Copies of this chain bind each other. A is one copy, B any other.
Amino acid sequence: MLNQNILALGKKRSTIREIFEFGNQRAKLVGRENIFDFSLGNPNVPAPDSVQHAIRDIINTKHPSAIHGYTSAPGNEECRAAIAESLNARFGTDYSAKNLYLTLGAAASISLCFKALTASPADEFIVFAPFFPEYQVFIEHGAGAKCVVISAQVQDFQINFEEFERKLNPHTKGVVINSPNNPTGVVYSAETISRLSALLTTKSEEYGHPIFLISDEPYREIIFDGIEVPFIAPKYKNTLVCYSYSKSLSLPGERIGYVLVPNTVDDFGDVYAAICGAGRVLGYVCAPALFQQVIAHCAADIADISIYEKNRNILLEALTSMGYKCVKPEGAFYLFPKTLEENDRAFCERAKKYDLLLVPGADFGAPGHMRIAYCVQTETVQRALPLFEKLAKEYGL
């Protein structure tokens, strides 16, 4: 009677959801402050003041119809122009409003791209483990294409090029990257990007059709140690950038982001039109109108994300000194250490004894690891350290 795949997706409580419920139960017993919830990627940093100012200003000065009315499907022209300008100022690009399609956040942006690009059920999209598990849902159940997973290169979480090259084939329609990465926090090196770009260029020529690079960049601004993160779109002509203001402006619930389609994309007009068509099919109508106007004011702003680097430093140093093994993350707000036993689910289950809530790496396609989302108060991180230590001692460290 119902679509069984979709029913299963709706029924399956995600691990993160289970952990969340566990945390709520425990909080009733021991107090919320004694629960160390590192399971959620919900940024704790407040939106910058400019966002609240912009909202007040818009509400106080504009007529309600001019605030809350429909916008065109690709979005308010002023907002798209402001985004283009902020990108151009930072990256020396020459985008304009017509390169941007505003969306309901990164999940919507990525869904749109898969839906627009999938022409046949034989089409394949490649993802690199560990990866955000909803990619697979969007590819398989949303677009009806195939999701091909490249295993994790666990020593550095860069790309496993050997396996990647082996799995590229004429059905490859697109490749998804996410740097800085959820769940590892790793940033792709300039070398990785340039090797990726060269390989995709060669293979596109060999197959006689473009392989699109879908660059999921919600963590683009959250980078540490003063490193330079290459802006990917200019490095490979057939890049579609999926962005969200969820992390940079700490607005995850407001659902606002974009797809950037550079002029360099083959058949630019058709690709942009297909994105518009996919927006119609998925019932998106337009991005939330008030927040389109907010972004027109705040496109260049960033929340005070310094806490993330501070938290990373504290956690990484402490865990390493306790004997945990972890690739050093240079961005986002996740740590992805090895679990102290091979079975990551068993390990995360054991961590619950200390009210440490962690997500098993298996959920992201990289078992044997745990994701620690440290977008929490620094004090929470500090108070959790003795618990991580007790846990380590259980494993003889």
Nearest CB on B from A57, distance (A)? 11
Q: Is A232 an interface residue (CB 8 A)?
A: no
Does A89 interact with chain B (Cβ within 8 Å)? Answer: no
Q: Are A280 and B134 in contact (CB under 8 A)?
A: yes
Chain B residues with CB under 8 A of A1: 117, 119, 209-210, 266-267, 270
Which 4 A-B residue pairings sit nearest by Cβ, starting from the closest? A253-B289, A10-B277, A111-B283, A10-B276
Q: Which of B70, B108, B250, B252 contacts A42 (CB 8 A)?
A: B70
Min distance, Cβ A109 to any Cβ of chain B, angstroms: 8
Which residues of A from 29 to 44 have beta carbons under 8 Å from B?
42-44
Determine if B291 and A288 form an interchain contact, defined as CB atoms under 8 angstroms apart: yes
- Minimum CB–CB distance from A140 to chain B (whole Å) comes to 9
Q: In the complex, which of the residues B7, B64, B71 contacts A270, with contact meaning CB atoms closer than 8 Å?
A: B7
Query: Is B3's CB under 8 angstroms from A115's CB?
Result: yes
Given contacts A56-B59, A255-B104, A288-B253, contact A280 B9 (CB under 8 A): yes
Chain B contacts for A254, CB-based, 8 A: 68, 288-290
Nearest chain B residue, comparing its CB with the CB of A7: B274
Q: Does A227 contact B (CB under 8 A)?
A: no
Residues of chain B with a CB closer than 8 A to A274's CB:
2-3, 6-7, 10
Using a CB-CB cutoff of 8 Å, which residues 88-123 of chain A contact chain B? 104-105, 107-108, 110-112, 115-119
Interface residues of A, count at CB 8 A: 81
Task: List the B side residues contacting A284 at CB < 8 Å.
Answer: 104, 107-108
- Counting chain B CB atoms within 10 Å of each CB, the highest count among A270, A275, A283 belongs to A283
A65: interface (CB < 8 Å): yes
A56-B59, A252-B69 are contacts. A11–B108 as well, Cβ < 8 Å?
no
A271 at the binding interface (Cβ < 8 Å): yes
| Cβ contacts under 8 Å, A7 to chain B | 116, 270, 273-274, 277
Q: Is A190 in the interface zone, CB < 8 Å from B?
A: no
Determine the distance from Cα of A141 to Cα of B69 in the docked complex, in whole angstroms. Answer: 27
A278 within 8 A of B: yes
Known A68-B250, A273-B10: A3·B118 in contact at CB below 8 Å: yes
